[in-house]
Structure 1
Amino acid sequence: MSFLKAEWRKLVMSNYEVNPKVLLPFVPKGTELDYYDDKCYVSLVGFMFINTKLLGVKVPFHTNFEEVNLRFYVKRKEGDKYKRGVVFIKEIVPKPAITFIANTVYKENYQTLPMRHNWHFNEKEIKVSYHWKVNGESNTIAVESESKLVAIEPNTKIEFIAEHYWGYAKDKNRTTEYEVKHPTWKYYPVVNYTIDIDFKATYGESFSFLKSIEPASVFLLEGSKISVENKTVL
């Protein structure tokens, strides 16, 4: 049985080119940084969990909620092939039970903060925003996009950012690995975005520099049903 099943919907992904040295302290043992066109990226991702089930059970008041995370990209060689995965710097949710389970079972770095979202649709455009508070101050990531879905083309930046099917985390001197299953996603072309975030307060001094740089790209993906499988200790 899958550890978690849900829908991940309306994923806003703001992607920043960074110096790899910033990420080296966070790379789990047995993995290595992954690059696209010799460039290293971190992504700020906001989305909705919908119809969430843990071990097949819906937990009351914990089925629909926001998440915002900061993540980067790694790969792990297994035999003669590479598994492409993500590592999370921090994942923010509004539900303390989710934080407790994720930090305890999956050794992730979750934090519970006040959060909300807004979705607006019409025939021509979509507006999606995610908001959270740190130390009483509001943070926002928001996009406006076209309303028509577009297929992801192979070997593009958006494929590199969106299509990762493994998660890795540090567990003391070990590394945990888990599979995330979902179909290939489609996206809505973004025409405008707003990012108003205190990166230092949210993610620490190591990532405060993101406040002063523009993202290399911003995407809005529709998402799908997903499943997170049970972890393996490598």
Structure 2
Amino acid sequence: MTNFLNAKWENLIMANYSIGPEILLPYLPKGTELDYHDGKTFVSLVGFLFRDTRIFGLPIPFLGTFEEINLRFYVTRKVGSEVRRGVVFVNETVPNRFVAWVANYLYKEHYVAVPTTHDWTVNENVKRVKYQWINDKEWKSIYAEAQAINKPLIVGSEEEFIFEHYYGYTRVDERTSEEYAVQHPRWNVNDVTSYQIDCNFETMYGKDFAFLNNVKPDSVFLAEGSTVSVKWKRNRFV
């Protein structure tokens, strides 16, 4: 199966909020179901770095490394006896208009392009990771400080639930959805010791998510990341 995209995803911050399933149902692609962990559904505010991005194996001059900030939630799809676990993006923010246009035009995704930046500080003891973006003419950010030593995911943990989804799902319209496969090794994680989130969820993601402005995340995770491939083939289903 041909890879559409190859890249490195590095230093992924995930701020995870439990959310009522009724809020997510209008965004649910046809043919998928909400994925639960310990009886809860979640959305995650995510910041990470795309590095050395290649499209069909070809590098993108000047545009191959960039930040992405997104809001996503978690779903499953049953295919015969197989249960596929995936994510749905409410919105994805990148700094380049061309990248956003390609994703929106070809794949019916929900990208916007605004200025972004990042700042990392790493020593033998501490890792500090920060992503920033412009929203409503102001710089917003997600920041995590963590132990520098990484460790494997624990089976059955909330961290494993958040990170171990290997499909993406897009709502094309009320009756049609698309599925694509994402491949990467199982990630190691760093224990987060402190964090700071400055995000206007209402202006970024709409009124349905405005309440997140006034609540703390249930958890904040930091993953080392790895090389990632996104398959070209998209399965459309109803």
| Alignment partner of 1:213 out of 212, 215, 218 | 215
Aligned ranges 1:70-219 → 2 under 5 Å = 70-172=71-173, 173-219=175-221
- Cα separation, 2, equivalents of 1:107 and 1:185: 28
Secondary structure of residue in 2 paired with 1:140: strand
CA distance in 2, matches of 1:78, 1:20: 22
Q: For residue 22 of structure 2, what is the amino acid of its counterpart?
A: K
Aligned match of 1:31 = 32
In 2: Cα distance, 1:138 partner to 1:198 partner: 10
Deviation of the 1:134 alpha carbon: 1.2
Query: Normalising to structure 1: TM-score of the pair?
Result: 0.99
Letter in 2 for 1:222: E
What is the rounded CA distance, in whole Å, between the counterparts of 2:199 and 2:154 in structure 1?
A: 30
For residues 18 and 197 of structure 1, what CA distance do their matches in structure 2 show?
Answer: 17
- Using the TM superposition, give the Cα deviation of residue 137 of structure 1 relative to its aligned residue in structure 2, in angstroms: 1.0
Measure, in 2, the Cα distance between the counterparts of 1:86 and 1:135: 27
In the TM superposition, what is the alpha-carbon distance from 1:104 to its structure 2 partner?
A: 1.3
Residue in structure 2 matched with residue 9 of structure 1 by the alignment: 10
2:146 alignment partner AA: S
Distance 1:62 1:232 in 2: 28
Task: Give the corresponding residue for 1:229.
Answer: 231
Q: Deviations over 1:34-75 (max 9, x none)?
A: 000111100001000001001111121111000000000000
CA RMSD of aligned residues (A): 0.7
Shift of 1:174: 0.9
State the AA in 1 paired with 2:168. Answer: G
**Amino acid of the structure 2 residue aligned with 1:40:** T
Consecutive unaligned residues of structure 1, counting only runs of 5 or more, are: none
Q: TM-score, normalised by structure 2?
A: 0.97
Amino acid paired to 2:85: R
CA distance in 1, matches of 2:154, 2:199: 30
Instruction: Give % identity.
Output: 44
Deviates further, 182-191 or 99-108? 99-108
User: For residues 135 and 194 of structure 1, what CA distance do their matches in structure 2 show?
Assistant: 19
Corresponding residue of 1:44: 45
3-state SS in 2 of match to 1:99: helix
- Residue 232 of structure 1 and its aligned partner are, at CA, apart by 1.6
Task: Give the superposition deviation at 1:127.
Answer: 0.3
Residue 166 of structure 1 deviates from its aligned partner by 0.2
In 2, Cα distance between the equivalents of 1:138 and 1:22? 27
- Give the aligned residue type for 2:78: K
CA distance in 1, matches of 2:117, 2:210: 23
Any idea what SS the aligned residue of 1:98 has?
Answer: helix
Distance 1:135 1:17 in 2: 26
Query: How many residues align structurally?
Result: 234
